[in-house]
Structure 1
Amino acid sequence: MKIVVLPGDGIGPETMAVAVDVLETVSARFGLGITLDHDVAGHASMEQYGATVRPELLDKVKAADALMLGPASAYEYPNQINASKHFRKGLDLYANIRPARTYAGMDHRFGEFDLVVVRENTEGFYADRNMESGGSEILVTRDVAISMRRITRVCCERIARSAFELAMTRRKHVTIVHKASVLKICDGMFVDVCREVAKDYPEVVVDDVIVDAMMALVVRHPQRYDVIVTTNMFGDILSDLTSELSGSIGLGGSLNAGADAAMGQAAHGSAPDIAGQDIANPFSQVLSAAQLLGWYGQKQNDARFLQASKAIDEAVAAGIAAGEATRDVSGRLGTKATGAALVKRLQQA
Structure 2
Amino acid sequence: MMIYKIGLLYGDGIGPEITKSTESVLKAAMKKHGIEAEFPVYPMGWEGIEKYNEPVPQITFDGLKTCHAWVFAPHDSAAYPKEHFNKTNPSGQMRHHFDLFSNVRPARTMPGIKSHVGEADVVVFRENTEGMLPDRNMYKGLGEFMPDKDMALLVAVFTRKATERIAHEAFKLAMKRKKKVTIVHKANVIQMGYGLFKDVCYEVALQYPEVTVDDYHIDAMTAHMVRRLGDFDVIVTTNLFGDILSDLAGELVGSLGLSPSINTNGNQCMAQAAHGSAPDIAGMNIANPTGLILSAAMMLRWLDTRYQDSRLSLAADDIENTVDKLMELKVVTKDLGGTATTSGYTDTLVDAINA
1:24-77 deviations in Å (ceiling 9; x for gaps)? 101210111011001221011212222211123212101111111100111222
Instruction: Give 1:108 deviation, angstroms.
Output: 2.4
1:15-54 matched pairs, under 5 angstroms: 15-54=18-57
Aligned residues: 348
Say if 2:107 and 2:122, in contact at 8 Å, map to a contact too. Answer: yes
The DSSP-based 3-state class of the residue aligned with 1:3 is strand
How far has the Cα of 1:280 moved from its partner? 1.0
Conservation of the 8 A alpha-carbon contact between 2:286 and 2:341: yes
CA deviations on 1:245-289 (whole Å, 9 max, x unpaired) are: 111111100100111111001110001011111211100010010
The two structures have a TM-score, normalised by structure 2, of: 0.96
What secondary structure, in the 3-state scheme, does the structure 2 residue paired with 1:151 have?
A: coil
**Structure 2 residue identity aligned to 1:46:** I
Aligned partner of residue 145 in structure 1, secondary structure: strand
Q: Is 2:114–2:253's contact at 8 Å kept on the other side of the alignment? A: no
Q: Distance in 2 between matches of 1:335 and 1:219?
A: 31
Give the Cα–Cα distance (whole angstroms) in 1 for the partners of residues 204 and 339 of structure 2.
46
Shift of 1:183: 0.8
Alpha-carbon separation, structure 2, partners of 1:140 and 1:115: 42
SS at match of 1:98: strand
Native 8 Å contact 1:174 1:205 kept in 2: yes
Task: Answer whether contact 1:320 1:331 (CA < 8 A) is retained.
Answer: no
Q: Secondary structure of the equivalent of 1:208?
A: strand
Return the letter of the residue paired with 1:184: Q
Query: TM-score scaled to structure 1, two decimals?
Result: 0.98
Aligned to 2:153: 146
Is the contact made by 2:42 and 2:63 (CA closer than 8 Å) also made in structure 1? no
The DSSP-based 3-state class of the residue aligned with 1:200 is coil
**Residues in 2 aligned to 1:320 and 1:197: alpha-carbon distance in whole angstroms:** 39
Structure 2 counterpart of 1:312: 319
- AA partner of residue 58 (structure 2): P
- Which residue matches 1:79? 83
What are the equivalent positions in structure 2 for 1:60-139 lying under 5 Å apart? 60-77=63-80, 78-80=82-84, 82-139=89-146
Letter of the aligned partner of 2:212 in structure 1? V
AA in 1 matched with 2:52: Y
Corresponding position of 2:349: 342
Give percent identity, aligned residues only: 44
Describe the SS at the equivalent of 2:83: coil
- The alignment status of 1:166 with 2:173, answered yes or no, reads yes
Any idea what SS the aligned residue of 1:128 has?
coil
Structure 1 unmatched runs, 5+: none
